[in-house]
């Protein structure tokens, strides 16, 4: 391929490039972030201490069975938050990539049907 | 097109510049005979080195760097220990100040001062917000991209010096053409990955250092001439080709005239020409059709004068050369030959400079006597404020006609007509900068010559399609690793500058938000209580109608999904905007460098 054609092609590819999300990376990052956040928030309330510790944070127990604002609860919460964060992030990335893939495929098909399109 | 030639068949090569000599060398390597005809008294063409009382002077600056292994190896083989590795420094001289070249933001701002920099910034913003609708001229093209003030400072005067016409007369196509083939991936790779961490040493050398023969660029071609002589290949100097005879779709012979006016006819089987296309067509016997002649006559060239001054001082400035943008003087560039190689001057207490003027054969500057040109150079040297550094004690003038093929608005069409007609002569191969009317560097010229020699030998190569087309050269495989590395970095850069699909991002966030809220609500309903999920119900402040009933949940999740969808759209567009700004900033920097690289 001639140098000029190569450069033209690279420009086209650069203009058309659509970013993908890395589901695995996002899952780990979001999972860890959520886990650390919940663990930190729980531990913070435990260290501060009071008669009725963390009434609002305790409500998470509705969704994370076994979670309470206690020391064992902090670790249980860590695990739940990690899984939830990871699943949500992975879901977002998967849906995003799926839609991108679908749209690009549709674009490519449309182009192939155009006269002279390739 | 060509059958495998017999060993005794002679190839006549017109011109002993880098292209002509390289063609002869390659033919010899392939076992073919050739003879080289050069109209001048020395070899090297525009890359020759003139010796004036021991002071050596190049015609322009010739850095030796190439991506083509074969050519790099040839240079190294020819020069051996005499091939120096030199640091590169070149700056712009404007209003008695030096600016880094390529331009660097901090240095430029410092040099221009706060007020000018601010005004330049305003001018840039204005150009971006209200660009001129028409982009027919170089001036409009540059102003729209960089602002009128930056155009006036760094583009106008130098471009007008190089091409000898107003920027408002130069077609915007010329600027577009220079940017069109911009290898953004390669440039971005250099800018982002950086020279130090990048495995390809070549990239570093282009920017910071280059190879150079110990006694000037001409030393390379003198060596090549000697090598050819060892192989019994004759280089005949002072032989101007005045006629190219052709019949039956083949060139049959050329007529050359020597310094005494004697004419000699040389027959050959193949002809490789590096003479200017315009002259080649005009030398045709019989003459080609009128439209071809007219097309050839419309090909224009820019000519070049170097005034060498010897200054009685050991050092002046550290640069290899400086670009002189100051409009009050005619000089366009100043070479400091001693900084190319210390052996360019015989006496270390002296410095030799090449003050370069871009001219047109026959114009006032071109017709000036040598003495007047030396006086002009001396006075401009003083005017630029350098007179205090040392006294000018000697000087000489070198005129180089047709140094640059001009890319004017007509050249493309004219070249097409000429090319098509030359294509009817099956054994004629135009090569080199003027031979192909192409703004070639040395290595490109040599690559075209190598390809022509291989075509003569029977390879199927379209020599007009040769840049440094690796597929045609032996080192294609050796460069495979570099190519693979390039592909990988190209992918990384594509990923870096890839845009996010806003619709996909909106859909992903919207769907996920809706699913999460729906699941949370369902869990609370299943758990029961009175009231159910009072804390989660606080969301009804933002999602009217959200209740812990099936309909309420659907209403709430739809709203949550909708808001998250818009948030996703906004997020993707914001990221894309930032990526676009970074990409454009990088692009502008590259465009500035590309557009200012004329006359190299």
pLDDT computed for residue B222 by the predictor: 96
Q: pTM of this prediction?
A: 0.66
Q: Give the nearest partner residue to A96 out of B185, B508, B523, using CB atoms.
A: B508
In chain B, residues with a C-beta closer than 8 Å to the C-beta of A10 are 183-185, 490
Chain B positions with Cβ closer than 8 Å to A: 181-185, 465, 467-469, 490, 493-495, 497-501, 503-505, 507-509, 511-512, 515-516, 520, 523-524, 527, 533, 535
Element (H, E) at B403: strand B392-405
Q: Do A91 and B183 touch (CB under 8 A)?
A: no
The contacts of residue B201 (CB under 8 Å, 6+ apart) are none
CA B66 to the chain's CA centroid: 12
Instruction: Enumerate the β-bridge partners of residue B301.
Output: B405
Residues B195, B208: contact at Cβ < 8 Å? yes
- CA B474, CA B70: separation in Å to the nearest integer? 7
Q: What angle do CA B183, B189, B195 make, to 5 degrees?
A: 125
Q: Do A63 and B520 touch (CB under 8 A)?
A: yes
Selected for mutation to probe chain B from A10, A67, A97 (highest B CB count within 10 Å) is: A10
Work out the mean pLDDT of chain A and round it to a whole number.
Answer: 84
Instruction: Enumerate the β-bridge partners of residue B306.
Output: B356, B398
The string of pLDDT tens digits covering residues B308-324 is 999 999 988 899 999 99
Identify the residue whose tokens are 């369902």: B522
In chain B, residues with a C-beta closer than 8 Å to the C-beta of A58 are none
Residue B220: both structure tokens together = 């390379």
| Complex-level ipTM beyond the 0.85 threshold | no
pLDDT computed for residue B281 by the predictor: 96
Q: Give the nearest partner residue to A17 out of B494, B512, B524, using CB atoms.
A: B494
Regions in chain B scoring below 70 on pLDDT? 1-9, 102-105, 173-174, 176-207, 389, 466-491, 588-600
The contacts of residue A107 (CB under 8 Å, 6+ apart) are none
In chain B, residues with a C-beta closer than 8 Å to the C-beta of A7 are 181-185
The total of other beta-carbon atoms located within 10 Å of residue A64's CB is 17
In chain B, residues with a C-beta closer than 8 Å to the C-beta of A3 are 181, 467-469
Residue B11: both structure tokens together = 């190839």
pLDDT computed for residue A8 by the predictor: 65
Position A118 confidence tier, pLDDT thresholds 50, 70, 90: very low
Instruction: Kindly state the average pLDDT of the residues A43-57.
Output: 87
The string of pLDDT tens digits covering residues A13-34 is 666 778 889 899 999 999 999 9
Beta-sheet strand order (sheet of B240-247): B263-267, B250-257, B240-247, B284-285
- CA B262, CA B16: separation in Å to the nearest integer? 20
pLDDT computed for residue A10 by the predictor: 64
Give the C-alpha distances (Å, rounded to integers) separating B339 from B49, B215, B315, B316, B318.
15, 12, 9, 10, 7
Q: Do B498 and A18 touch (CB under 8 A)?
A: yes
The contacts of residue B396 (CB under 8 Å, 6+ apart) are B50, B52, B57, B307, B308, B370, B374
Q: Do B523 and A100 touch (CB under 8 A)?
A: no
């Amino acid at each position: 391929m001639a140098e000029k054609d190569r450069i033209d092609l690279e420009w086209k590819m650069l203009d058309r490039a659509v970013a993908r999300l890395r589901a695995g990376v996002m899952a780990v990052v979001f999972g860890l972030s959520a886990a650390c956040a919940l663990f930190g928030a729980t531990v913070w309330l435990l260290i501060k201490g009071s008669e009725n510790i963390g009434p609002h944070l305790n409500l998470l127990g509705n969704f994370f069975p076994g979670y309470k604002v206690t020391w064992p609860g902090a670790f249980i919460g860590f695990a739940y938050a990690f899984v939830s964060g990871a699943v949500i992030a992975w879901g977002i990335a998967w849906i995003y990539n799926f839609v991108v893939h679908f749209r690009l495929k549709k674009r490519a098909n449309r182009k192939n049907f155009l006269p002279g399109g390739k | 097109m060509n059958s495998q030639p017999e060993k005794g068949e002679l190839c006549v090569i017109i011109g002993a510049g880098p292209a002509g000599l390289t063609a002869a060398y390659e033919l010899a390597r392939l076992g073919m005979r050739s003879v080289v005809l050069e109209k001048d008294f020395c070899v090297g063409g525009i890359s020759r080195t003139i010796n004036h009382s021991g002071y050596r002077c190049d015609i322009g600056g010739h850095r030796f760097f190439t991506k083509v292994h074969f050519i790099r190896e040839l240079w190294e083989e020819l020069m051996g220990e005499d091939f120096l590795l030199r640091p590169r420094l070149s700056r712009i001289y404007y209003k008695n100040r030096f600016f880094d070249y390529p331009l660097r933001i901090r240095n430029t701002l410092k040099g221009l001062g706060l007020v000018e920099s601010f005004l330049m910034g305003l001018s840039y913003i204005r150009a971006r917000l209200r660009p001129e609708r028409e982009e027919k001229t170089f001036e409009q093209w540059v102003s729209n991209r960089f602002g009128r003030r930056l155009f006036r400072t760094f583009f106008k005067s130098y471009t007008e010096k190089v091409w000898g016409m107003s920027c408002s007369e130069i077609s915007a196509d010329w600027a577009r053409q220079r940017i069109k083939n911009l290898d953004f991936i390669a440039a971005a790779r250099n800018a982002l990955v950086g020279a130090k961490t990048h495995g390809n040493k070549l990239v570093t050398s282009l920017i910071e250092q280059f190879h150079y023969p110990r006694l000037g660029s001409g030393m390379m071609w003198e060596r090549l001439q000697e090598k050819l002589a060892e192989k019994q290949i004759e280089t005949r100097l002072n032989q101007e080709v005045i006629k190219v005879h052709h019949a039956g779709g083949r060139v049959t012979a050329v007529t050359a005239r020597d310094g005494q006016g004697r004419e000699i006819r040389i027959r050959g089987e193949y002809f490789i020409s590096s003479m200017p296309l315009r002259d080649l067509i005009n030398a045709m016997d019989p003459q080609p059709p009128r439209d071809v002649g007219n097309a050839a006559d419309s090909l224009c060239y820019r000519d070049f004068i170097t005034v060498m001054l010897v200054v009685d001082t050991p050092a002046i400035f550290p640069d290899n050369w400086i670009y002189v943008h100051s409009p009050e003087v005619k000089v366009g560039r100043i070479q400091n030959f001693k900084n190319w190689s210390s052996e360019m001057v015989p006496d270390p207490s002296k410095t030799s400079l090449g003050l370069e003027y871009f001219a047109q054969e026959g114009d006032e500057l071109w017709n000036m006597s040598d003495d007047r040109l030396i006086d002009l150079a001396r006075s401009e040297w003083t005017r630029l404020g350098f007179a205090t550094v040392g006294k000018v004690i000697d000087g000489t003038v070198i005129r180089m006609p047709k140094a640059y093929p001009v890319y004017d608005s007509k050249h493309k069409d004219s070249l097409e007509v000429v090319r098509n007609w030359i294509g009817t002569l099956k054994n004629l191969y135009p090569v080199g900068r003027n031979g192909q009317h192409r703004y070639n560097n040395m290595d490109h010229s040599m690559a075209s010559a190598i390809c022509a020699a291989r075509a003569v030998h029977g390879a199927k190569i379209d020599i007009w399609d040769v840049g440094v087309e690796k597929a045609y050269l032996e080192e294609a495989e050796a460069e495979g690793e570099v190519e693979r590395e390039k592909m990988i970095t190209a992918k990384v850069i594509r990923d870096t500058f890839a845009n996010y699909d806003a619709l996909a991002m909106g859909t992903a966030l919207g769907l996920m938000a809706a699913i999460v809220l729906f699941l949370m609500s369902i869990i609370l309903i299943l758990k029961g209580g009175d009231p159910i999920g009072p804390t989660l119900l606080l969301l009804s402040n933002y999602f009217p109608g959200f209740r812990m009933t099936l309909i309420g949940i659907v209403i709430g999740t739809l709203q949550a999904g909708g808001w998250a969808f818009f948030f996703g759209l906004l997020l993707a567009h914001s990221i894309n905007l930032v990526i676009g700004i970074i990409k454009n900033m990088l692009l502008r920097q590259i465009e500035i460098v590309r557009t200012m690289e004329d006359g190299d």
